[in-house]
Every structure is written in C-alpha cells, then in structure tokens.
Amino acid sequence: MCGIIGIVGNQAVTDRLIEGLKRLEYRGYDSAGIAIMENAVSGSVLSRRRAEGKIHNLVERVAKEPVDGNLGIAHTRWATHGIANENNAHPHFAGRVGLVHNGIIENFTQLRDGLKKVRKFQTQTDTEVVAHLIDEAMKNGASAQEAFAKTIGQLTGAFALGVVIEGEDQQLFAARRGSPLAIGLGDGENYIGSDAIALASLSQKIIYLEEGDWAVLTTDSVKIFDADNAPVERPITMVSGSLAAAEKGNYKHYMLKEIYEQPETVGRTLTHYIDAFNHRVKTPEELELETLDFKNLERVTLIACGTAAYAAYVAKYWFEQLADLPTDVDIASEFRYRRPALSQNSMAIAVSQSGETADTLAALRYCQKKGLKTAALVNQMTSTMARESDYAMPINAGPEIGVASTKAFTSQLTALLSLAISSGVQRGHIDKKRETELTDALTQIPRLITETLALEPEIETLAHDLSKTENAFYMGRGVHFPLALEGALKLKEISYIHAEGYAAGELKHGPIALIEEGTPVVVIAPYDELFEKTVSNMQEVATRGAKITLITDEKGAAHTAGMAHATLVCPETQSESAPIVYAIPIQLLAYHAAVHLGTDVDQPRNLAKSVTVE
C-alpha cells in the first residue's frame, strides 16, 4: 500500500527522502513522488517531481530536474481511485498546500462537490480534495494549523497524511486515522514515516501516533493532538537495530533471504513460546498474558487474510485435535459483514504479519464491540492490532520485506501450534507425556527446515518445468489442505501462473475435469495417517494424465515408487509440526518458477505488502 515519508530538517532532504521511499518499496506501489520546499529569493516555493512506475524513474526525473531543500514529503502510491499515472501520483498540490496520503477518503465525492464552484481539480484521486480543503480554509483566514485540524475533522475513511505548506517553511503536519503513521525523532530534525522501516536510517526513536492523532513537527519540536484536538504525550519507542538491518545481503531477492532465514526465525518464535529445557510450553504468566484462559473458553475465532488466513486454517486442526476447542476461521473481509453469531465465552484471535491489515483490524474491532476477548498474533508488536487487542502475541520473525509472505507464515504456524498445545494442556486434553512429545518435536523444526532447504537445487529444476505451464494444482489432506492453498497462492502471486489448491478428496467433485495430459499437480503428503487416502486421490489425477510432483518423506517415497513424475523427499517430521517443514518446498518452488519467468519477485504486480484499505 501507499508509503509516506517526510523530513523537517536542518540540511538537504531529497536524497534522504528517496532513500526512505526505497525502504517503503516492499509495501507495493505503482508511482512515486516528492515535494520539496525550495528556498527561492522571493521566499519559499513548493516544487514536486513525480513519476509513474518504479522509484528509479523518479530518481531519473530528479537527476534531470534537481530539487532540494530542508523540508519535504515523499510518497509511493498504490492506486485505488484513479489509474496509476504521473498525474494521479502524490504529492498533490492545491494553492500553497502539498500533501501525501495513505488510505481512502470515503466522503471525497461530497467534499469535492462542495468545492467545485471555487476549486479546479486536476486528478481522479480521492486525495486531492484534502489539499484543497486545507488551502481553502487558509484562504478564509485560518492559520495553517487551524486549517489542517479543521480539514481532518471533515474527513471520513482511513488515512495517514503528511502535509507541507508554502510560507510555513519550518512545519510538517501529520495525521493518522485508520492507516499507520510513525514519527521519528532526530537531532535538530524530525521525521514522519509509514513505519519504522522507512525511518530506519534516520531515527531509532519512534513515536507511534494513535488512532485520531495529528501532529505538527518542526526541527526541534513535535506537538501531538488527539482526535478532540487536545495536546497529548505519546510514548517514545526505541526500535531495534534489526530494523535498520532489513537489507538483502548477498541474496538475489528478499524472498530468498527470508526463506533461508526460517531456521532462525522459527527458532526465535519457539524461544518465545516454548521452554525447551523443561520440554513444555510456557505458561500464560511466562508469556505475560496472565489472564489468558483457554480452559474455560467455548470457542476460538481466528480472523485473517491471505497467507495469514491459511496459517489460521492449519491452526483450526490443531486447536480442535490437541485442545478439543471448537475453532472457526474467518476471512476478515467477510467476517463482520455476514453478522456472525458470536458466543460471549469465546475469543477472537487476529493473525497478521503487519498488524495493520484493514480488514483484519476492522474484524478485530467488531469482536471488541461485541464484547469478546481479543488477541493479536502479529510480527509488528507496535502495530495497531497489537495495541488495540487484549492480548498481543509476537511471532518474532523480524522484518519481512518480500511481498510474498514466507518466514512470517512459518512463524505464525509455530506460534499457533504452541498456543494450541498450551490450550490442550490448560484444558486437560494433553498430558505431560504428550506435551513433552509435542514440544520436543517443535524444537526439532529449525534443524528440519535446514535439511529441507538443501532440496533447493532439485526444486529449482522442477520449478523450471513448472514455469512452462499456465495452470497448476496443489492438493493435500488435513493440515496439508491449507498448505495446498498456500502453495497455490505463492505460485500465482509471484509467477502469475494460475494455480488452485484443493483438499485432496475434493478434486473428483469437480476440479478433476480440468486435469489433462501434463497438467502439473503438486501433492503434499507426508507418511502420516492420511497418506494412503491422499495417494489414492493422487492416483485419480495421475490416471487422467496429471504430472505429479509429490512432496513426502522417505517412507512416503518408498510407498509410492514410480507413481509420481518427481518426488521431493523431506526429512521425517512429527505429524502435527509437518506443515511448518513442508512450507519450505512450496515456497522454493514458487520462488524459482518466478525467477525463471523473470517476474518482479519481491514486488509482484498489483500487490501490496500491507493492505491498509478495505
């Protein structure tokens, strides 16, 4: 989604704004721009440079037409209203005002209609009207600060805003409602950014604006006001240096780096949830979730989008099997509009890497309003979901930059399995022996992931073959059904090959009609209690010409010798924790297919990392 960065500085800002935009690239965008307060002889002048497409186009534009000054805002736009072209790119100008926006102004049509007689609009965006409203208010006698405060009071929808105003050379205005925005504190300078990653090279002292907050930044002060325009203090968070280390290193893509980080990231998740030394899950007290009570819970509702939702689907099997705890999984965008029947004695858990996904956040708030206890399982502990829920639970995967989620997925699975074991223990469904067995199996996962990563050369060869197809299928049973869905999602989002995931038993109810000679089918089937059933389904499609890639273990390979076109042999894994290990080959398969096709792996077309609009 759109990214914002702004600097009110004591030295030139253009290069630093562009560097900040590059850090925001991972969020997904289709145009970029900067606005700089230039100091002309006649006074300050606001100038902008914008370009369609990637940031290097903007860099070229700035090289041809240099612009610099000590105050500026910059933006990467992910188009919602109006096509992705230079004219619709931010910053938007109106009179003395330059403005960048992330989110959607829902009442823009009414606001625009109200101004049509006095204002000429240049773009198709929902954003431009906000710049006009501020400028119009100043024309009618308001000070810059009054005009800004008045304007945000007129807006409905979700937004984060950064504003600079000609004649106010020392002030940067910011507001946050619905879309995240952070303030970075510097030495004789201050900054705004969509997240701490954008600000990583500028500041580690971060203030996260709260819902409805707005702020006025100068070089040496930051004044914050709440939704009622009352001055407020917000805590300063020191972000870890690891954010600054969100670099690609020697890897060709962030996605590959993040795939290879998984032994370590899963290890970090485990350290948080498991007491490996004592072969047990940590207690709620040890997790600083003192009042988290699974014992008396009637139901858990997991809400999420995309890959996080597939992690939640896997967790449904775990919560039901290990804890006998009825569990619903809901796609967040469907949840609140279907007016779900919620039982009071249940808990909603939002699963989200970013902790900012608009649909998941809205669903979480809906549950809060209905009186449910809420928890957020997130990668960003400073995110809105973490701050607004009763229980914030980290996955500790570290910054995930590739748009395609990989290490966050395996850490979500690891945390959810740990929580399912924990609830099984609390509900008396798991005895000490079983707890030891399950936690010991979990502690093996980082090693098993390392062993599975060694399959990469084989997977690369298979991926070349896969990249020649237009359609592919993934299938699995039990916990490997959601993994089939995730495998298909990974392949389509980065390689643009059409792919579908199915419960293995479901193909013959319709999709098998699509199988013809050579159709690739990836079968996920470790040698567990469902193996024979999955192999029967595999044979049903093989008989009809499907080209099978079987992902299994040694025992599975021995039982299916000669049946599959190719067999990837993963290390033997205890059945509950298998999806965490089997996620690796499906990630590598999608990655190499995409690399072979030459797509933009880390920033696939049309996609955004953090989807902050509904």
Catalytic residue among 2, 305, 367, 570: 2
Burial class of residue 513 in the structure, from the number of CB atoms within 10 Å of its CB (0-12 exposed, 13-18 middle, 19+ buried): exposed
DSSP H or E run through 373: strand 373-378
- Interface with ligand M6R, residue 360, by CB under 6 A: yes
Region of residue 245 (phi > 0: left; psi between -120 and 50: alpha; otherwise: beta): alpha
Closer to ligand M6R by Cβ: residue 206 or 397: 397
* Pairing status of strand 237-238 against strand 205-208: antiparallel
Residue 306 or 399: the one with the smaller Cβ distance to ligand M6R is 306
First to last CA, the chain: 11
> Going by C-beta distance under 8 Å and a sequence separation of 6 or more, which residues neighbour residue 389?
350, 364, 368, 374, 375, 376
Determine what percent of the chain falls in helix, strand and coil, rounding each to the nearest 5. 40, 25, 35
Closest CB to ligand M6R among residues 128, 602: 602
Task: Tell me the closest approach of the beta carbon of residue 367 to ligand M6R, in angstroms.
Answer: 16
- Interacting span for ligand M6R (CB under 6 A) from 222-230, 300-308, 315-323, 517-525: 300-308
Contact, 4 vs 192, CB < 8 A? yes
- By CB under 6 A, tell whether 263 contacts ligand M6R: no
Decide: is 314 part of the binding site for ligand M6R (CB under 6 A): no
Q: Is 2 a catalytic residue?
A: yes
In the bound state with ligand M6R, the residue whose beta carbon lies nearer, of 350 and 463, is 350
Is residue 454 within 8 A of residue 471, CB to CB? The reply is no
Among residues 123, 127, 203, 307, which is the contact residue for ligand M6R, using CB under 6 A? 307
Give how many residues touch ligand M6R by CB under 6 A: 16
Q: How does DSSP classify residue 163? A: E
Which residue is closest to ligand M6R by CB?
A: 306
Rounded alpha-carbon distances, angstroms, from residue 588 to 417, 475, 582, 595: 23, 17, 11, 10
404 touching ligand M6R, by CB under 6 A: yes
Q: Can residue 415 be called a binding residue for ligand M6R (CB under 6 A)?
A: no
Cβ contacts of 116-122, under 8 Å, gap ≥ 24: 119/94, 122/87, 122/92
Find the part of the chain contacting ligand M6R (CB under 6 A) among 43-51, 208-216, 227-235, 354-362: 354-362
Nearer to ligand M6R, 172 or 393 (CB): 393
Q: Which residues pair with 534 in a beta bridge?
A: none
Give, in order, the Cα–Cα distances in Å from 102 to each of 3, 199, 305, 378, 454: 7, 16, 20, 21, 41
State yes or no: residue 478 binds ligand M6R (CB under 6 A): no
For ligand M6R, the closer of residues 52 and 359 by Cβ is: 359
Question: Own/partner pairs for 50-54, CB < 8 Å, 24+ apart?
Answer: 50/86, 50/89, 50/90, 50/91, 51/86, 51/89, 52/84, 52/85, 52/86, 52/89
Per CB under 6 A, which region of 187-195, 265-273, 353-361, 580-588 contacts ligand M6R?
A: 353-361
Please count the residues of the chain. 614
Is residue 610 at the binding interface for ligand M6R, with CB under 6 A as the rule? yes
Tokens of 482: 């959601």
Binding mask of the shown chain, residues 43 to 82, with x at each position contacting ligand M6R by CB under 6 A? ----------------------------------------
**Minimum distance of ligand M6R from residue 303's CB (angstroms):** 10
Single out the residue of 357, 418, 552, 603 in contact with ligand M6R (rule: CB under 6 A).
Answer: 357
Please give the backbone phi and psi of residue 63, each rounded to the nearest 5 degrees, phi first: -65, -40
CB of 607 to ligand M6R, least distance (A): 6
Could you say which of 282, 373, 490, 609 is catalytic? 609
The reply to whether 305 belongs to the active site is: no
If the CB atoms of residues 14 and 360 are measured against ligand M6R, the closer one turns out to be 360
State the pairing for strand pair 43-52/31-40.
Answer: antiparallel
Distance CA 177, CA 159 (A): 5
Pick between residue 360 and residue 495 the one whose CB is nearest to ligand M6R: 360
Q: Of 122-130, 293-301, 313-321, 397-405, which part binds ligand M6R (CB under 6 A)?
A: 397-405
CB of 590 to ligand M6R, least distance (A): 9
Shortest reach from residue 608's CB to ligand M6R, in Å: 8
Kindly tell me the burial class for residue 118, based on how many C-beta atoms sit within 10 Å of its own C-beta (0-12, 13-18, 19 or more). Answer: exposed
Residue 611 touches ligand M6R, criterion: CB under 6 A: yes
Smallest CA-to-CA distance from 57 within 49, 45, 46, 47 is with 49
352 binds ligand M6R (CB under 6 A): yes
Binding ligand M6R (rule: CB under 6 A), the pick from 14, 70, 353, 411 is 353
Select from 44, 354, 467, 573 the one that contacts ligand M6R (CB under 6 A): 354
Return the range that interacts with ligand M6R (CB under 6 A); candidates 78-86, 304-312, 556-564, 583-591. Answer: 304-312
Residue 497 binds ligand M6R (CB under 6 A): no
Q: Is 127 in the site for ligand M6R (CB under 6 A)?
A: no
Residue 54, both tokens: 């990637």
**Token output for 473:** 């299928």
Q: Active-site residues: which are they?
A: 2, 609
* Interacting residues with ligand M6R (CB under 6 A): 305-308, 352-354, 357, 360, 403-405, 493, 607, 610-611
